[in-house]
Structure 1
């Protein structure tokens, strides 16, 4: 499992806890974004490729429980783990019924949190399985690409770029979201590098410009059969 391919959104208004989570998850290899209120969660999820959300319940502007309900009402199925001091059985039941995938009470054990995060990522993104796009297949654990059952030799960056698009098959992936997810760069960056990598990927796989992966001018790319 290449943890660098996954971005975890930490929604936590307590600065010390947010810093602890970001430090620990970054050291594990994950990419992290941190927000302090519920409204920021909604904005980031809608405009970025978020792999999993660690969600506090009691946040300013919009509570975590309401954030979870709104995301699910909009059919956004990104895994959500409540990480909260609300510790009654009733709270847990309400959190899970709101659409969360898991519920962890503070204070928490970091090793347990890591295990649960990895479990939900594996379940949701089917990491141990093979991603498919037309006659293309990507074995995520082996970092192997096959086209019509023939191996294609891609660099790590090319593989991660392609995997990002296939993982979001049918969705337009913006240039910025790709740069942030694959290159881990969270500031303005010359996204022209993506065209260089895409040309290399298409050449190696002998793809026409509109075959399987299409360029959406001014926006990004979309993997579509």
Structure 2
């Protein structure tokens, strides 16, 4: 199983590579954003570990370019920066998860495994009105129009679609979608719901994801 690590710090890259290889992964290293982008466009990796502060092309730009090209490989962003706006920017460009340096290797590995597991998990076809989700193929759309989502966006939407008409709290969504090692704020759910509304509702002139103030979110036909 191949993993791409895009990291300009040689020591960090080497340490991550050694750890992943011990776990049985095959690892490709890229020391800058342009190299990472080229490799990710040419090879079907199971996941991409992407630093944000990179020479040539930063992680935000790499992620944005990959998603624009239709590359849906799960992306875990690494950065020395910290703060909800940095995290929101990374997620908004299409990343699936975010980890701030310095980090525990066990937490890093748990996050990476969770991303890979979600991208492989099969399930029945889900329908809520004209909105459909194919968990096995990680595809969704409205009617005949397919919608491109990141791994995490898809996981949040799937969580809502598995309980149509039911109000789900932020805590419940975090518990079902994020890995047990997640130690961030429940408010991250708001970021994903906002992105889903822009992709799943707004272009089609509908409001299927509603907010129940003080309680949570509901997906309706």
For Structure 1 versus Structure 2, the TM-score category normalised by the shorter chain is 0.5 to 0.7
1:37-61 residue CA offsets vs partner (Å, 9 max, x unmatched): 1111111112222110000001011
1:144-172 residue CA offsets vs partner (Å, 9 max, x unmatched): xxxxxxxxxxxxxxxxxxxxxxxxxxxxx
Equivalent position of 2:33 in the other structure: 38
Specify the SS of the correspondent of 1:71.
Answer: helix
1:120-141 residue CA offsets vs partner (Å, 9 max, x unmatched): 1011022x77xxxxxxxxxxxx
Equivalent position of 2:110 in the other structure: 115
Matched, 1:13 2:8: yes
Equivalent position of 2:63 in the other structure: 68
Q: Taking structure 2 as the reference length, what is the TM-score of the superposition?
A: 0.54
Equivalent position of 1:192 in the other structure: none
Equivalent of residue 106 in structure 1, options 97, 101, 117: 101
Larger Rg: 1
What is the alpha-carbon distance in structure 1 between the residues aligned to residue 44 and residue 88 of structure 2? 28
What is the alpha-carbon distance in structure 2 between the residues aligned to residue 16 and residue 74 of structure 1? 31
Question: Structure 1 segments of 4 or more deviating over 4 A?
Answer: none
Specify the SS of the correspondent of 1:8.
Answer: strand
RMSD: 1.5
What is the alpha-carbon distance in structure 1 between the residues aligned to residue 92 and residue 47 of structure 2? 18
What is the alpha-carbon distance in structure 2 between the residues aligned to residue 90 and residue 47 of structure 1? 31
Q: Give the gaps of 5 or more residues in structure 1.
A: 1-5, 130-225
Q: Taking structure 1 as the reference length, what is the TM-score of the superposition?
A: 0.53
What is the alpha-carbon distance in structure 2 between the residues aligned to residue 123 and residue 41 of structure 1? 23
Specify the SS of the correspondent of 1:17.
Answer: helix
Asked if structure 1 preserves the Cα contact closer than 8 Å seen for 2:34 and 2:57, the reply is yes
How many equivalent pairs are there? 124
Equivalent position of 2:90 in the other structure: 95
Asked if structure 1 preserves the Cα contact closer than 8 Å seen for 2:41 and 2:66, the reply is no
What is the alpha-carbon distance in structure 1 between the residues aligned to residue 36 and residue 120 of structure 2? 21
